[in-house]
Structure 1
Amino acid sequence: MLQISHVRKRYANAKRNAVDDLSLTIGEGQIFGFLGPNGAGKSTTIKMLVGLLKSDEGSIEFEGMQVQTPSYKRSLGYVADEPYFYEKMSGYEHLCFIADLYGVDQRTRDEQIDSLSQTLLLKPNLRDEIASYSHGMKQKLAIIAALLPKPKLLILDEPMVGLDPKAAYLLKTLLGDFAKAGNTVFFSTHVLEVAQSLCDTLGIIKEGKLLACGSFSELRGNGKAKDATLEQLFLELTEEGSVQ
């Protein structure tokens, strides 16, 4: 279980909190979609979840482990909104580098690299320099690297960006299988159709505050139109929602 309790974060000289009293509980086997307009606090939240930023107040735990502990970080797979690589490495060398960092044994790394690169259609390019990769190929490599050490918690910031329709479909299938195995997925996206079809639970944030959280059917039940799409609910909440 991922538990975020009363987390706040304000940047220096900012007029308001980037994240303001955020509390969420996300269970095993769940895919949680984190939605909000630009500047809502999604990336700040994710950076706190992976330990790149420290919250000013509140706590973040996964299965009882605090966010800054080595055990928490060993349980984590992360895909940033703009992944960075040593671009003179080949894709395979990068994955071996990640496996070494996590202490993944040779048999497991070989199995994972082979399986994941086949699934995401990157295997023919693994021996090429990363500098030669397209944006979509780099995104696939980042996803494979995040899944390689078999994390229990997977956090992704806009993972669909740069992926073609087939790769996006394959990633959705991969995330579904990952969650069915009892793992937890937390991801932000602007692709609301993906969030509606894939996520068990959705959270909508604006100006650092959580406006709504629940399943799509629960959010729709609380909206003005009982047959609304997620896009309509999102616009209703973020354009009309009151943020104190």
Structure 2
Amino acid sequence: MVTAIGFEGSANKLGVGIVKDGKILANCRRTYITPPGEGFLPRETAEHHQENIHAVMREAFAESGLSPRDIDVINLDIEMGRLITKAKNPTVLYVSGGNTQIIAYSRQRYRIFGETIDIAVGNCLDRFARVLKLSNAPSPGYNIEQAAKKGKKYLHLPYSVKGMDVSFSGILSYMEDKITELLKEYTPEDLCYSLQETVFAMLVEITERAMAHCGSDEVSTKSKFYIGSPCRICSSPGIVDVHGRC
């Protein structure tokens, strides 16, 4: 049985996980939180991670009941969930504050079949959360999702998909430029709902297109934030989420 430890330092998230033969023994995290309406600076975030990494690692070993001597390998990942779910040929939807890509294994290598041509979807959501001055705790994307659940009125927003590429700067610019006017007719919850549904539809479209191109019937949602939760992805027709969370 192989015992593996993995370190996560994506954006403002810091985490240490320990897995043994497919069983999660520890999954410990810290998040650098900034005031509502503000983003996080790389230097300050790096300082937060440096100050907390040893404590998080000790917490992970304590939670797992193991010591550093018990670790066989240090992990890095591309297709999360394959060990547990036994997925054979997943298409990877990789979304975060800095990335939006559709990746799949084809002809002996991993290939990027589609991506954002400007800003990442996570960056789009983070910046819109600042416009509405939503809290950064636990994350802007999560708070947009919670607000969206209360939205009742849908606003048609710019929808930009070309092939398997997407663009989110137009949606964000539209919302930023017209926010004062929009808030006279729509609630913040309506706007969160409209933005979430629009970007989600765009991601599902390019994911399904890549799956059809590669002959895949599985998708791995490798993400550092969530739009409507991973269950939204796997509930779409023809898509099976290999994370096993649904």
Q: Which bracket does the TM-score occupy, shorter chain normalised?
A: under 0.3
Tell me the TM-score normalized by structure 1.
Answer: 0.26
Greater RCO, 1 or 2 (C-alpha within 8 Å, sep 6+) = 1
Tell me the TM-score normalized by structure 2.
Answer: 0.26
